[in-house]
Amino acid sequence: MKPTHIRLRRACAAAAAAGVLAVPAVSGSAYGATSPAPSPTPTTSSSTAPTTDAAFPQLTPAVAAQLDAAVREVMRATGVPGATVGLWAPGKGSYVKSFGVADKVTGEPMRGDLRVRIGSETKTFTVTALLQLVDQGKVGLDDPIATFVPDVPNGDRITLRELAGMRSGLFNYTLDPGMIKAFEGDPAQSFEPQQLLDYSFKHPVQFAPGAKFEYSNTNLVLLGLVVEKVTGRPLHDVIAQDVLEPAGLHDTLFPTDSRLPDPHAHGYTDQTASGKIEDATDWNPSWAWAAGAMISDLQDLRSWARVLATGTLLTPATQAERLKTTPMDIPGAGYGLGIFDVQGWIGHNGSLPGYETLTVYLPPAQATMVVVLNTDVDTKGQEPSTLFGEAVTQIVTPDHVYPGHKPLVPKKSG
């Protein structure tokens, strides 16, 4: 499992080059030429400037037609039931359109206002809550995890920074065969954080703290426990009050049960005991907790992309620490603290049974891209959100193609 999402059966690379893919069925939302409100000035420490990039195209009807065709190509090649794609850039207009269906049984069309599960984009919220505690002087990024959570392998050596940056060496619990069997046997069951850690800690550490990058959801479960211990509040309350409310995200939530509030898209997955595609809409996301349980929609993700990339909830110094990336196994990509920089696009993506999302921000153009899908079924080892992101950016930002042009290591069995 790599820096993009949270899956069970399969470990995967964050992205891979798509190649030319084929077409689609649609159900349109809308193309609009209105400009969004100006974005906050970025505090990013990467090689980006806060001025609008003249190379970003005007999102005219002609460009919209190109985007329509590209999205439909990927729809047909992947068999994704429903997709919504949004692009926004100051002075360049916007492109927001939905394709396909939100419910394969009723044929209800996909729409931009439907909530979905956002998988590992949850990590961006959990780490933001942690970094707010750093700003308050209540924790330090170089504090060892043993200060807050007992009995962690190498806990006296692994720092909060290494956990948030995916450099702890702790085994990823979602790759444990027992965890996979338990989940697939009853996707409605509820898991407690300690159960998730137990699945990880029965495995040896993978490498010395800080030695290399390796994506592990175990890291985020530990950071969620740190936030709870330091604040004395449940993680879902901390994120709701300290992150979502000041960010103005009213349709985003950290669920405490399996319900996906209306209106929502149905989600379809092949991460099942039989391997057949099933409706995973009401599966319990507690197994993902601080690493991947949250819910959102297109417009909230659009807003969050700017907040996250520009650090409006953090001090400039802490945001600069967040954006210090270390190399991933993706050309032109690095991972910071619960955030990635892939070909200049800053943000995160997510994959949970039934859903995938991609939420990224390009500082030179102050541009935002959000992709929302109601499936996580791969195509030839590639995640659908990656293929959509690449198809869109090949048109609008050929100098910043997400995730790049070189094929990556394909998914392998976990």
The residues annotated as belonging to the active site are: 120
Amino acid at site 214: E
- Report yes or no: 295 and 118 within 8 Å, Cβ to Cβ: yes
Render 33-97 in DSSP notation, one character per residue.
-PPPPPPPPP---SS--SSPPTTSPP--HHHHHHHHHHHHHHHHHHT-SEEEEEEEETTTEEEEE
- Report yes or no: 347 and 124 within 8 Å, Cβ to Cβ: yes
Token pair listed for 377: 């079924």
Q: What is the spatial distance between Cα 195 and Cα 82, in angstroms, rounded to a whole number?
A: 34
Render 329-346 in DSSP notation, one character per residue.
SSTTEEE-SS-EEETTEE
Is residue 261 reached through a cis peptide bond, with omega within 30 degrees of 0 on the bond before it? no
Q: What is the spatial distance between Cα 149 and Cα 168, in angstroms, rounded to a whole number?
A: 14
Closest to 289 in 3D by CA, of 199, 335, 232, 225: 225
8-state DSSP, 145: G
